Homo-oligomer: A and B are copies of this chain.
Amino acid sequence: MVIVIGDVLLSDDTLDEALLLSRAHVDRSRVEPGCVSHDVHVDTEIPNRIVFVERWADREALAEHFEVPAAIDFARALTALACERPRVDIYTVAAKGDA
């Protein structure tokens, strides 16, 4: 499995539009092959910070996701709305457990 954690800092003026675009991106992404989960959250500490948590079956599924034209358009639009370059961390999972 591959986990993606994405951090995006918006301004008071761009947060609402970013959330609208993000919700549509989440809905689109969830039906893509290999998408295990895809969600977007609002930080409780910095209210203009949104955080994506995505789980993909493997690197190939994620690579295909990054090639979807709507995903490319979304990334470009979200970056334009952000106060700083969005941070996207990708983790390949070796083992999974439950608490």
Contact = CB atoms under 8 A, between A and B. Distances in A.
Contacts of A87: 98
Interface string A85-96: 001111111111
A41 interface: yes
Nearest to A66: B99
Contact of A44 (B4, B42, B66): B42
A1 interface: yes
Q: Kindly state the interface size class of chain A when it binds its partner.
A: 20 to 34
A26 B45 CA distance: 10
Contacts of A43: 39, 41
A35 interface: no
Interface in A1-57: 1, 3-5, 19, 22-23, 26, 39-45, 50-51, 53
A5 B91 contact: no
B41 A44 contact: yes
A78 to B, nearest CB: 12
